[in-house]
A and B are shown apart, each in its own frame.
Chain A
Amino acid sequence: MTPQTPVNKAENAAAEAQPKDTRNTGPGRLLITVYAVFAISATARAGYQILTKFSEAPLAYLLSAFAALVYVVATVSLAKAGRTWFKVSVAAVLVELVGVLVVGALSIFDSVNFPHETVWSLFGRGYAFIPLLLPILGLVWLYRRRPTPKLG
């Protein structure tokens, strides 16, 4: 933990006080890799859908873009150290879990309004259910690497 570039003082102090407050180590690196692949593919897919056929299904494609954003935020925050990034990670992964559950359920029970594919449709079946598995593994990992309570 030796920052070569000048960083925020508070963040620096926090990093020194808690050298273990990172999630980009061990299994976390695999998790971040999978998140990164999803961030890239979801962003590319959403960008493609919005640029070429947005009027066909605005809701589904906006949802695609939102999912892409969530994956990007999750990837970046998981790779960063510190308490603030931990909170961002928890928020992003929770939003992802709610997203895949709600969109997954809607795509089954209300297939008329959700006929177009998103990453989260049918609980991510088009992606081998990894979108459903990922937030669960993410929460387990975040819990295991949660920052220790502040002293004083």
Chain B
Amino acid sequence: MDAYFYIILAVGLLSTIICTAAGIMKKAPNDTTILSVAAVELALLVYLVGSIVRVASGEQIVGEAWEFWGYLVTALILPVGAVYWSVLERTRWSNFVLAAVGVTAVVMAARMNQIWY
């Protein structure tokens, strides 16, 4: 596991905790929960840029390269989709939708690390 994974682990879990807590407190999605998901997206973008730089500088992905990029691109779409889906109906349940993004990103980042090394 590399630094990219640990960044996503920290940001993803924090986002999930914030969104779950907001959902339990019966709040609709607000700036805090949406920004926490945006932070997950940012962490994934850092992973994307970092990975492009590493490949460009000659590093080899041990596993299937296109499986890695497939995971990364899917992970990047998830936060955007979840935020869109959650603002369409702003109830407490939408915060649980947002909460799903963080853990999913962590699981996908773990898999991406396995593919890379």
Segment of B1-9, B38-46, B96-104 in the binding face:
B96-104
Interface pair A37/B78, CB less than 8 Å apart: yes
The complex places the Cα of A27 from the Cα of B91 at a distance, in Å, of 9
Interface pair A37/B104, CB less than 8 Å apart: yes
Instruction: Write the chain B residue with the least CB distance to A33.
Output: B97
Instruction: Write the chain A residue with the least CB distance to B86.
Output: A29
In the bound complex, residues from chain A placing their C-beta under 8 Å from that of B85 are 29, 32-33
In the bound complex, residues from chain B placing their C-beta under 8 Å from that of A28 are 93
Question: Is B82 positioned at the interface, with any CB of A under 8 Å from its CB?
Answer: yes
Interface hits, A27-72 → B, CB 8 Å: 27-30, 32-34, 36-37, 40-41, 44, 48, 52
- Knowing A33-B85, A37-B78 touch, does A27 contact B93 (C-beta < 8 A)? yes
Question: Is A25 positioned at the interface, with any CB of B under 8 Å from its CB?
Answer: yes
In the bound complex, residues from chain B placing their C-beta under 8 Å from that of A40 are 74
Q: How many A-B residue pairs have CB under 8 A?
A: 37
Identify the 7 closest CB pairs spanning chains A and B, nearest first: A30-B96, A33-B97, A26-B93, A30-B97, A29-B93, A27-B93, A30-B93
The count of chain B contact residues (Cβ–Cβ below 8 Å) is 17
- Contacts from A to B (Cβ < 8 Å): 25-30, 32-34, 36-37, 40-41, 44, 48, 52
- Knowing A33-B82, A33-B100, A34-B100 touch, does A26 contact B91 (C-beta < 8 A)? yes
Interface pair A25/B89, CB less than 8 Å apart: yes
Instruction: Give me 7 other A-B pairs in contact (C-beta within 8 A), A29-B93, A30-B97, A40-B74 excluded.
Output: A26-B91, A27-B96, A30-B93, A34-B100, A41-B74, A44-B74, A48-B64
Interface pair A29/B97, CB less than 8 Å apart: yes
Interface hits, B64-116 → A, CB 8 Å: 64, 67, 70, 74, 78, 81-82, 85-86, 89, 91, 93-94, 96-97, 100, 104
The complex places the Cα of A109 from the Cα of B103 at a distance, in Å, of 32
The complex places the Cα of A29 from the Cα of B70 at a distance, in Å, of 25
In the bound complex, residues from chain B placing their C-beta under 8 Å from that of A29 are 85-86, 89, 91, 93-94, 97
Instruction: Write the chain A residue with the least CB distance to B23.
Output: A30
In the bound complex, residues from chain B placing their C-beta under 8 Å from that of A25 are 89, 91
Instruction: Write the chain A residue with the least CB distance to B78.
Output: A37
Instruction: Write the chain A residue with the least CB distance to B73.
Output: A44
The complex places the Cα of A28 from the Cα of B88 at a distance, in Å, of 13
In the bound complex, residues from chain B placing their C-beta under 8 Å from that of A41 are 74
* A to B CB contacts below 8 Å, 26 in the list: A25-B91, A26-B89, A26-B91, A26-B93, A27-B93, A27-B96, A28-B93, A29-B89, A29-B91, A29-B93, A29-B94, A29-B97, A30-B93, A30-B97, A30-B100, A32-B85, A33-B85, A33-B97, A34-B100, A37-B78, A37-B100, A37-B104, A41-B74, A44-B74, A48-B67, A48-B70
